[in-house]
Chains A and B, each alone.
Chain A
Amino acid sequence: MDKLHVRVYNVRFGDAILVSVPDRVADDKIETRHILIDVGNTATGKGGDDVVFRPVIDDILKVLGGRPLDLYVMTHKHLDHVQGLLYAHKQLFPGEGLRQKLQLRHAWLTASAEGEEYYKKHPKAKERRDMAEGVYDAIRSFLDSSPERQACMDLLMMNNDPRKTDDCVDFLRNLTGNDWYVYRGFNLEGKHLFQDAHFEIWAPEEDTSVYYGRFHPMALGVRRDERAKPTLTLPTPPSGVDAGAFYNLVEIRRHGYVDNLLAIDAAANNTSVVFSLEWRGWRLLFTGDAEIRSWRTMYKQHKLNPFLKPVHFLKVSHHGSCNGMPPAEMLDTILPEPPPDNRHRRAVVSTYPGIYDKQGKVPDDETLNQLRQRCELFSTQDLADGECKDFDFEA
C-alpha cells in the first residue's frame, strides 16, 4: 500500500525534514518523490554541533537512492534552518559533490530571500529591513564592546547575521536553476513536479513589512571607530544629579537592544514559508518558525478569504517556543476538537533543550502540553544526534 512518509531528523537546535510522497508519473505509474525542508542548526554552542549533519545527509542521500530531490523548501533565512547544506557542501562533499548527488529540481525559498530584486518591488519591506540591519549593526558594536557577553545573545546574533545567512541562501538558490520565491498567493503551477500532492502556501505575505514589529528606542553608548574595536561609554552623573537614578536611566536606555534583537529575530521567523501538503485525504502542515504575528496575519487573511483547514500532521513552529504557537482560535481551526474525520493526529517538534533557558524556555512545556491535548506529540529531543523519527500516512 502507498504511504506518505515524513522523516524528521534530530539536528540539535534546528530543522531537517524529508518528506517522501508516492506520486503519479507517466502511464499512471507511481514513483516516490521527495521534498527536503530546511537543513540547519544554530551553528554555535551545544545546539549547533555540525557533526550531526554527516549521518543526516548520508541518510537523505540513501533515501534518494541516486534519484533527484524533487523539491527543497527553505522556510526562512535563519542559520538553524539554512546552514546545513552549505556545511555539507564545504565539509563533507567538497567540489560539486553535494550538488550532483542532490540533483535538485525545484527550490522554494521564502519571498524575501530573493534579495535586492525583492526589495525593489517592496520598498516598505526594504525600509523595515534596512532599519533592522542598522539596529543589528549597532547591537553588534555594543555586544562587541560589552564586558559581559551571554551565550544566548551570541546565538541570537549569529542566527540573524545577514552576512552569514546570505552565503547559505546563495548556495541554496544555486542548487537548481528552478529557484522560486514563494508567498501566500504565489502561483505554484510549474514550480514543482508533483501530480497527486496538492500544496497551499499559507504564509508569508508577499510584502514582509507586516512582520516587523516596533523597534524600541535604545541608546547603547558605543564609540565606533573603523580602525579600532568599539568601546562602551560609561557616563558618570554630573554634580547635583541623583546617581542611582542616573545609572538606572542609562541602563534602561540601553536595555532596549534586547527587545530590538528579538524583534529582528521574530521578523525573520515570521517570513517562514508555512505550507500545507494534501495527499490522498491527508493534510500535513509545515510551519518553519512562524511566530505569533505570522499566525495572526494568516488568521486575519483567512477571515477575509478562508484557506485554513484542519490538519493531520503539524510540524510545531519555532522549536516549541510559546511564541510559535498559533493563537487559540486558530488552533481550533487547524486542530479542531474533536478531529472532524476522527483520524489520529500527530505533531513533531524539532528542538534541543538548554539553548534558551531564560527566555521563556524553549521548548515551552505549557505550549507542548496544549498540543498534547489535541494530538500525539513527538520531539526530536528523544532521538540521538542525527537519528530520525518516521511518520507514515497510508493512502
Chain B
Amino acid sequence: MKVKVPVMVQDEEISQYKGMRITEQFTITGEDFFLDGPVTRRVAVLNFDTETGALLPGVRFQPASQDRELGRYEIADENDIHACDFNQVSVFGTVLQTIKMFEEEDNLGRQVAWAFMAPQLLVVPRAGEWANAYYERESHSLQFFYFRNVYTSLSRDIVAHETGHAVLDGIAPDLYNAITPQSLALHESVADLTALIMAFRSGTLCEAVLDHTGGSIECSTAFSSLAEELGRALGVHPHAGYLRSLLNEKTLDPNSDNPVARSEPHALSEVLSGALYKVMVNIHEAIKHELAGKEGLSPSEIPGVALWRGHQRFKRMMFRPLDYLPPGEVSFADYGRAIIASDQASYPDDEDEREWIREEFVRRHMVADRAALEVKSNFEHPALKDVDLQTLIDSDWAAYEFANHKGRELLGIPEGIPFRVRPRRDVTKLYYHRDSEQKIRKERIRECLFKVSWDSTEPNQLGSQFPRERQITVGSTLAIDWETRKVRALLTSRRKVGSKEQLEQQGDRDLMLSRLVDEDLLQLSRRAIGPDGKRLDSLIVAESTKDLMRIRGTARMLHIVG
C-alpha cells in the first residue's frame, strides 16, 4: 500500500526567509497497514492534550480507492501547518522517511529494530511546553515539545535528529549506557548526520540552497546548521540562530583556537560532525569536478546531481560502519576505524574518501596520527575455517562456544573473564563498484556480524561518597564475509592498559562524571529514590556493589537535559 503524506521541508521560519515552499509530499511504501493516528506497526503518533492529558482523536486514514491511487490522511487544510492534524501527519511522515533512509538496501539493508525490543515507536508531537525534544528508550518514544510558539515537531531537522537517536540505539545499544563523553557525543553526531542527510534529500531545499550559493554546500547554513528556528527562539546563537553548526573548525586540541570541553558530549559532537561535514563538502566538490563537461548535464544541473550522488555516497560511508562499531565504550577513533574498515573492505582501491577521513581526524586531534586509523580488512583467519555461519547466527550455544574457544584470541577476549555474546546479525547490503570498463555494477555482500562484550574496571575518581572503582563495558565486532569467510572487519573497544587512548578515555570519563555529580545529575541509587519509593526520573543512577560503580541510562538523561 502506498500512502502520500505532507512533510516539512525544513521549518516554518527558515522556509519563509529562504523563499521556499514550507511542505512537500512523501510517499510511504512498504508498511503493513495504516490506521488512524497515524498508526502503523512500527510508528504510532499520539496526540495528547497538553492541558488535560486526554488523548485527542487521531487523524483519519483514507485508503486508496478507485478514485485515488494513493492512501492519505484526512487533513482539513494542508496549508495550516500549526493545526494538530497536519502536525500529527507531518511528524509521522518525517519519522518514517528517516527510518526508510536507514533501511535502504545500500545503507543498513534491513528493517531497523528498536533497542526497547518492541515493534512500535511512539511519537508525541506536542508533549508540552519546553524547549526540547528527545528520544527515550524507557518509554519507547520520541517526545517533541514546543516553546514560544515554536513546535519542535515541525522542524524536519529535529524530527530526523531524534529519529536518528532511536535508530542508532537499536544498532549500538551500549552507547545509551556509556560513560565516555565521546561515546555519547557519537550518538549526537550520528543524529546530526541523520538530520543532514535528510536535508540533502529534500529536492525543494537543495534547489533553493544551491541557487542561493552558486552550487556550493560549504557556505550555506541551511544544511550545516541544525534546528535554526528553535535556535532563534532560544537566542542560542543570536547572529546565526541555530542550535548546532556542522560547518566548524572545532578540534580536541586544547591549544587551538577552537578547542571544546572534552567532558561535554554535545560540544564534543561538533568536532566529529564538523570533520564529517568537511568530508561531505569534499565529496560534493569532487563529484562536481567529475561531472563537469559531461554530456547531457548543463552546468546549472551539476551541483544538484552531485549533491544527490554525493549524499548517497556519504550516507553509505557514515551509516554502514555503525554495524561495525564494537560494543561498549567507544571513541571517535573507533568510529573512524569503523568507517575506514567498512569503506576499505568494499572499495579497496578507492582511497580518496578514506584519505579525507584520516586528514580530518588527525587535523582535529581525534586521533594522534594516521596510524591510529589503520585497520586490516578482507583477510583470512584460521579461526574461521570450517565455521558454519548459519549455526553461529541461529545458536547461542554455538556462538558462545566459538567465542570461548576458536575465536577467543581473534576477538581479543582476555583470559579467565566472563563475556557476553550479542545477538548475531545476518545482513546483506548493496554495494556499487566500478568494473574494469568504469561501469557501475551492483553487488550484494552478505555478512555475519558477531559481537562480544565483557566488563572491565578502572579507578573511580568521584570522591569518597562513590565507590572506588567503576565498571566499563568493552568488546569486539567481527564482520565475516558470508561467501569468502574472510574477515571484513575486526574492531575492538578494548584498550591496552596505560596506552594513550586508554588514559585519555579514562580521563574524559573522570571529567564528565565529576561534572554530572556537580550538576546533581549523577546520584548513587540509594539517594535516587523518591518519597513514593520509586526511582527518580531526573537522575543518572550509579549502582554500587562491593565498591564497584555501574552506571546506566547516561544518554537518556543527556537527551532530556539537552
A contact set with B: CB distance below 8 Å? 150, 152-153, 156, 213-214, 216-224, 233, 235-236, 238-242, 245-246, 248-250, 252-253, 255-256, 258-259, 261-263, 292-293, 296, 322-323, 325, 327-329, 356, 358-360, 366
A156 partner residues in chain B, CB cutoff 8 A: 531
Known: A217-B130, A255-B537. A222 touches B136 (CB 8 A): no
B41 partner residues in chain A, CB cutoff 8 A: 240
Give the residue name and chain of the B residue nearest to A321 (CB).
Answer: B527
A393, chain B: closest CB distance, angstroms: 29
Interface string of B57-97 (1 = CB under 8 A from A): 01000000000000000000000000000000000000000
B contact set with A: CB distance below 8 Å? 33, 35-37, 39-41, 44, 46, 48, 50-55, 58, 118-120, 122, 124, 127-128, 130, 132, 136, 138-141, 143, 145, 463-465, 518, 520, 526-534, 536-539, 560-561
Q: Contact between A259 and B527 (Cβ–Cβ < 8 Å)?
A: no
Q: Which of A216, A238, A292, A359 has the most CB of B within 10 A?
A: A238
Known: A156-B531, A249-B122, A249-B141. A219 touches B35 (CB 8 A): no
Q: Contact between B465 and A327 (Cβ–Cβ < 8 Å)?
A: yes
Q: Contact between B527 and A323 (Cβ–Cβ < 8 Å)?
A: yes
Give the residue name and chain of the B residue nearest to A292 (CB).
Answer: B520
Q: Contact between B531 and A150 (Cβ–Cβ < 8 Å)?
A: yes
Known: A240-B39, A246-B122, A258-B536. A217 touches B128 (CB 8 A): yes
A292 partner residues in chain B, CB cutoff 8 A: 520
B140, chain A: closest CB distance, angstroms: 5
Q: Contact between B531 and A252 (Cβ–Cβ < 8 Å)?
A: no
Q: Contact between A219 and B33 (Cβ–Cβ < 8 Å)?
A: no
Known: A235-B48, A239-B35. A258 touches B55 (CB 8 A): no
Complex CA–CA separation, A342 to B41 (angstroms) = 72
The one of B37, B51, B518 that contacts A238, using a Cβ cutoff of 8 Å? B37
Q: Which of B39, B53, B141, B520 has the most CB of A within 10 A?
A: B53
B55, chain A: closest CB distance, angstroms: 4
Give the residue name and chain of the B residue nearest to A151 (CB).
Answer: B531
Q: Contact between B529 and A358 (Cβ–Cβ < 8 Å)?
A: yes
B465 partner residues in chain A, CB cutoff 8 A: 325, 327-328
Complex CA–CA separation, A352 to B349 (angstroms) = 75
B55 partner residues in chain A, CB cutoff 8 A: 235-236, 238
Q: Contact between A293 and B122 (Cβ–Cβ < 8 Å)?
A: no
Given A221-B52, A242-B140, A322-B527, 10 new contacts (CB under 8 A)? A150-B531, A152-B531, A220-B53, A233-B52, A238-B55, A245-B118, A245-B139, A248-B140, A328-B464, A360-B527
B561 partner residues in chain A, CB cutoff 8 A: 214
The one of A217, A221, A236, A358 that contacts B532, using a Cβ cutoff of 8 Å? A358
B560 partner residues in chain A, CB cutoff 8 A: 216-217
* A-B pairs with lowest CB-CB distance, top 3: A221-B53, A358-B533, A235-B55
Complex CA–CA separation, A248 to B530 (angstroms) = 18
Complex CA–CA separation, A379 to B185 (angstroms) = 47
Q: Contact between A233 and B44 (Cβ–Cβ < 8 Å)?
A: no
The one of A213, A233, A249, A325 that contacts B46, using a Cβ cutoff of 8 Å? A249
Give the residue name and chain of the B residue nearest to A254 (CB).
Answer: B53
Q: Contact between B127 and A360 (Cβ–Cβ < 8 Å)?
A: no
Q: Contact between B463 and A241 (Cβ–Cβ < 8 Å)?
A: no
The one of B124, B130, B140 that contacts A245, using a Cβ cutoff of 8 Å? B140
A45, chain B: closest CB distance, angstroms: 12
Give the residue name and chain of the A residue nearest to B129 (CB).
Answer: A217
The one of A239, A258, A328 that contacts B530, using a Cβ cutoff of 8 Å? A258
A116, chain B: closest CB distance, angstroms: 25
Q: Contact between B538 and A259 (Cβ–Cβ < 8 Å)?
A: yes
A235 partner residues in chain B, CB cutoff 8 A: 48, 53-55
Complex CA–CA separation, A241 to B53 (angstroms) = 17
A291, chain B: closest CB distance, angstroms: 9
A216 partner residues in chain B, CB cutoff 8 A: 537-538, 560
Q: Contact between A219 and B53 (Cβ–Cβ < 8 Å)?
A: yes
Known: A259-B538, A328-B465, A358-B532. A239 touches B53 (CB 8 A): no
The one of B48, B120, B527, B539 that contacts A242, using a Cβ cutoff of 8 Å? B120
A263 partner residues in chain B, CB cutoff 8 A: 538
Give the residue name and chain of the B residue nearest to A239 (CB).
Answer: B35
A329 partner residues in chain B, CB cutoff 8 A: 463
Q: Contact between B44 and A242 (Cβ–Cβ < 8 Å)?
A: yes
Q: Contact between A233 and B54 (Cβ–Cβ < 8 Å)?
A: yes
A249 partner residues in chain B, CB cutoff 8 A: 46, 122, 124, 139-141
B166, chain A: closest CB distance, angstroms: 13
Give the residue name and chain of the B residue nearest to A366 (CB).
Answer: B526
Complex CA–CA separation, A307 to B528 (angstroms) = 31
Q: Contact between B122 and A358 (Cβ–Cβ < 8 Å)?
A: no
The one of A218, A245, A253, A356 that contacts B120, using a Cβ cutoff of 8 Å? A245
A57, chain B: closest CB distance, angstroms: 30
| 17 CB < 8 A contacts A-B | A217-B145, A219-B127, A220-B53, A221-B54, A224-B51, A235-B53, A238-B44, A240-B40, A241-B120, A242-B140, A248-B140, A252-B138, A255-B537, A256-B537, A258-B536, A356-B531, A358-B533
Q: Contact between B531 and A358 (Cβ–Cβ < 8 Å)?
A: yes
Complex CA–CA separation, A256 to B539 (angstroms) = 11
Q: Contact between B520 and A222 (Cβ–Cβ < 8 Å)?
A: no
Complex CA–CA separation, A181 to B141 (angstroms) = 47
Q: Contact between B37 and A240 (Cβ–Cβ < 8 Å)?
A: yes
A101, chain B: closest CB distance, angstroms: 37
Complex CA–CA separation, A222 to B54 (angstroms) = 9
Q: Which of A245, A325, A366 has the most CB of B within 10 A?
A: A245
A241 partner residues in chain B, CB cutoff 8 A: 37, 39, 44, 46, 120, 122
Q: Which of A255, A329, A360 has the most CB of B within 10 A?
A: A360
Complex CA–CA separation, A233 to B520 (angstroms) = 32
Complex CA–CA separation, A152 to B127 (angstroms) = 29
B308, chain A: closest CB distance, angstroms: 35
Complex CA–CA separation, A259 to B528 (angstroms) = 10
B537 partner residues in chain A, CB cutoff 8 A: 216, 252, 255-256, 258-259
Q: Contact between B39 and A262 (Cβ–Cβ < 8 Å)?
A: no
A296 partner residues in chain B, CB cutoff 8 A: 518
Complex CA–CA separation, A221 to B526 (angstroms) = 29
A281, chain B: closest CB distance, angstroms: 30
Q: Contact between A238 and B122 (Cβ–Cβ < 8 Å)?
A: no
B335, chain A: closest CB distance, angstroms: 30
Q: Contact between A152 and B532 (Cβ–Cβ < 8 Å)?
A: yes
Q: Contact between A293 and B520 (Cβ–Cβ < 8 Å)?
A: yes
Give the residue name and chain of the B residue nearest to A241 (CB).
Answer: B44
A366 partner residues in chain B, CB cutoff 8 A: 526
Q: Contact between B119 and A242 (Cβ–Cβ < 8 Å)?
A: yes
Complex CA–CA separation, A235 to B136 (angstroms) = 20
B33 partner residues in chain A, CB cutoff 8 A: 240
Q: Contact between A256 and B538 (Cβ–Cβ < 8 Å)?
A: yes
Q: Contact between A360 and B53 (Cβ–Cβ < 8 Å)?
A: no
Q: Which of B44, B120, B124 has the most CB of A within 10 A?
A: B44
Q: Contact between A253 and B44 (Cβ–Cβ < 8 Å)?
A: no
Q: Which of B44, B128, B530, B560 has the most CB of A within 10 A?
A: B530
Q: Contact between B463 and A258 (Cβ–Cβ < 8 Å)?
A: no
Q: Contact between B128 and A359 (Cβ–Cβ < 8 Å)?
A: no
A49, chain B: closest CB distance, angstroms: 20
Known: A238-B39, A246-B122, A296-B518. A259 touches B44 (CB 8 A): no
B170, chain A: closest CB distance, angstroms: 15
B279, chain A: closest CB distance, angstroms: 36
Q: Contact between A259 and B530 (Cβ–Cβ < 8 Å)?
A: yes
Q: Contact between B127 and A217 (Cβ–Cβ < 8 Å)?
A: yes
Complex CA–CA separation, A358 to B536 (angstroms) = 12
A250 partner residues in chain B, CB cutoff 8 A: 53
A210, chain B: closest CB distance, angstroms: 12
Complex CA–CA separation, A293 to B140 (angstroms) = 32
Q: Contact between B534 and A258 (Cβ–Cβ < 8 Å)?
A: yes
B70, chain A: closest CB distance, angstroms: 20
Complex CA–CA separation, A195 to B130 (angstroms) = 52
Give the residue name and chain of the B residue nearest to A332 (CB).
Answer: B464
Q: Contact between B463 and A328 (Cβ–Cβ < 8 Å)?
A: yes
A360, chain B: closest CB distance, angstroms: 5
Give the residue name and chain of the B residue nearest to A245 (CB).
Answer: B140
